[in-house]
A = this chain, B = another copy of it.
């Protein structure tokens, strides 16, 4: 999957503000509240800015299709419940997960700093975005954040015959002295569903070991995976165990749906999984010893000393710097489609 596909055709570059405003107009035009449009546009524009193309403007048609199907409520008002000194739960009221996080974020940071650790349990929510934008801002405030979200049945548990789990990503962010935070966002499937969709659209073959076709046979054809096939977990039984953990934390613990529980058959066009999300935020200043950010910088120094060239997240930070300098490049035809959607 090339991350620089946008450069092979005629492009127009937008500033982050311009792209965010355009996307906000699109969301509002298609039935979301002003607040929801602002949060989703910000998330999606940041993904595009950083070269996370599988979760950038590529996702707009899916968002709009789900909104049009009335499967997700673009006007939902998340209900925040302050349950204990370290526990917040949010009923996203069948809306998107990001506005639910935004509604509880201030309280979550306050609790993490006061209690040392806090958990945010979001249920009844739709997460259709990358997960790193949810955790990275905590690290920028000096906090350590871990988040998991379950999605929709498309991954065969290790040792099973049929799919059950979602792609169930795990994202983590930690502050680092004098540099970008350490951030990763990894699907517990062998490949992210968005990357399979992009490969199918471009006609690319996938590496071996990513998925199976509708008969359960290994395949490298992304279309065969999307057409009744399924993904495999990364790393065999270990990745499968972590995917199971994500189901337990993001669904069972939040009160949300498991990846296999929702039925959107009466909402043709629905694409956003109706599940849950868990975030854990820790204040490292409560720990003993040296400064956490200095220590994480030391770890990275030693990783480079043993030959590591690129940290997880480095490519995003590099693309971000280019976007901030030269604008966010969008293919002319893609941009024209987006502008038409905003009318």
* A182 in contact (CB, < 8 A): yes
What is the CA–CA distance of A116 and B85 in the complex, to the nearest angstrom? 7
**Inter-subunit contact A308/B160 (CB<8 Å):** yes
Total copies of this chain within the assembly: 2
The docked-state distance in angstroms from the alpha carbon of A116 to that of B258 is: 22
Interface residues of A in 196-247 (CB under 8 A from B): 234-239, 241-242, 244-245, 247
A55-94 interface mask toward B, CB cutoff 8 Å, 1 = contact, 0 = none? 0000000000000000000000000010111110101000
Q: Are A299 and B87 in contact (CB under 8 A)?
A: no
Cβ < 8 Å to B, chain A residues 287-333:
287-290, 292, 295-296, 298-299, 302-303, 306-310, 312
Asked if B84 and A116 make an inter-chain contact with CB atoms under 8 angstroms apart, the answer reads: yes
Chain A residues within 8 Å of chain B by Cβ, number: 75
Most B CB atoms within 10 A — which of A159, A184, A289, A310?
A289
- A131 CB within 8 Å of chain B: no
**How far, in Å, is A217 (CB) from chain B's closest CB?**
15
Assess the A312–B241 pair: CB atoms within 8 A: yes
Interface string of A36-48 (1 = CB under 8 A from B): 0000000000000
Looking at the complex, which one of B117, B182, B256, B298 makes contact with A87 (CB distance below 8 Å)? Answer: B117
A270 close to chain B: CB less than 8 A: no
**What would 11 A/B residue contacts be, using CB atoms closer than 8 Å?**
A84-B114, A84-B116, A86-B116, A87-B117, A87-B283, A160-B307, A174-B245, A184-B244, A234-B235, A234-B238, A242-B242
Beyond the given pairs A89-B286, A157-B306, 15 more chain A to chain B contacts, judged by CB atoms under 8 angstroms and listed by A's residue number, are A83-B116, A87-B117, A89-B287, A89-B288, A117-B280, A119-B282, A144-B253, A163-B306, A186-B241, A186-B242, A235-B235, A235-B236, A238-B239, A253-B287, A258-B302
